[in-house]
Amino acid sequence: MTRRVIARWLENDRYRHLGDIVQGTENPEYRIAVDIRAATDAPIDLSLAFVSSLLTAMTFFGVLWSVGGSLTLQIFGRSVTFPGYLVLGVIVYSGAVSMLMILVGHRMTSVIEHMNQSEAEFRASVDAFHLDAGSDEPGPNDDEKRSTMLLRLTVVVVWWRALCGQLMRTTSISHGNLLLAPVVGWLLCVPKYLSGAMTLGEVTQSAAAFVTVQGAFNWLVDNYQRLADWRSSVHRVGSLLFALDQLEAKETASPKTAGPETSDQEIATGQPPPDSATGKPPPSQSWSPARINHARGTSPSLADGR
């Protein structure tokens, strides 16, 4: 994929016109070198983690259903039975934790994208000093380059702090879930234990199965940061590809017009053909030797020796 994007980026000097077409395609070299790798590598790891969570959930789902059994409660004088109530409980609990994670970390994708862009701009400002690396004297724009570099470093620090805030919130959710899930599993087993329908060993087994299934269902919670990082890279690469598509469409809509054709007589003699009305060659239109040799190499008839 990187080769294809580079080929499209360099074709017809499109890299010179990206900023004029679509805003948000700055520093395409960073997008090509870093974001394409993140956008293509992350789905493999995330897919493997999802398959592992799915197999774990399928394995312990039956254990949780059979060991937990049904729960009968008296609600407004009527007996209501919940079959496989531990399974229902783990689904509700996992859904609540996942929704809380999405609510708390909904800005993480945008923050990561802005931080990556600010880092790319900071690297570009540092690379600008390499242009004058061979000179012993300071360049006329060194002060401006230095101020630009420090300004972009400040922007990097701002977005880094914003990302740290997002990571603290999402980490509190994921680690809090690790502590709370066993407690919820035990609490769900308490009614049946107090009624004598479940032994202490069955309570321990049910709580352990509850934690295992809940961990499998919380794939989103465990991989939320990686998902946000992947989504930001995909968006940055998608913006670059969209800009290249627009450049290609613009080139197709306005093709270059071909110049006037050159006759074999012009190539052989180095002079344009005579005017049809006067019979004399036009003045001041003689060709240079380099132009004659170039035309002779491209003329079909003269290239064959005719």
**Residue 99 pLDDT:** 93
Helical ranges in the chain per DSSP H = 2-10, 18-21, 28-30, 36-68, 85-104, 108-127, 142-194, 200-217, 219-222, 224-253, 264-269, 289-298, 300-303
- The tens digit of pLDDT for each residue in 192-217 reads 888 888 888 888 888 888 888 888 88
Each residue's pLDDT tens digit, 57-111: 888 888 888 877 777 766 777 777 777 788 888 899 999 999 999 999 989 999 9
pTM: 0.67
In a domain, 53, yes or no: yes
Tell me, what's the pLDDT at 29? 77
Instruction: Give the pLDDT confidence of 140-177 residue by residue, as tens digits.
Output: 577 788 888 899 899 999 999 999 999 999 999 999 99
Q: Which residue in this structure is represented by tokens 């002060």?
A: 143
Considering only 15-29, 104-118, 265-279, which range has the smallest mean pLDDT?
265-279
Q: Is residue 259 part of a domain?
A: no
Q: Residue 305 falls within a domain, yes or no? A: no
Residues 285 and 212 in one domain: no
Residues 44 and 145 in one domain: yes
State whether 272 and 237 are in the same domain.
no
CB 292 within 8 A of CB 272: no
Q: How many domains does the chain have?
A: 2
State which residues form the domain around 296.
264-300
Closest CA to 115 of 229, 234, 226, 23: 229
The predicted structure's pLDDT at residue 103:
93
Return the CATH number at 32.
Answer: 1.20.1560.10
Task: Based on the fold, state whether residues 283 and 227 are members of the same structural domain.
Answer: no
Q: Are residues 212 and 280 in the same domain?
A: no
Per-residue confidence (pLDDT) for residue 164, from 0 to 100: 93
Residue 303, pLDDT > 90, answer: no
* DSSP-derived 3-state class of residue 98: helix
Q: What is the pLDDT of residue 48?
A: 92
pLDDT given at position 100: 93
For residues 274 and 203, membership in a common domain is answered with no
pLDDT (mean) for 273-293: 52
**What was the pLDDT predicted at 292?**
47
Sign of the torsion formed by the C-alpha atoms of 186, 188, 194 and 196: negative
pLDDT of residue 295: 47
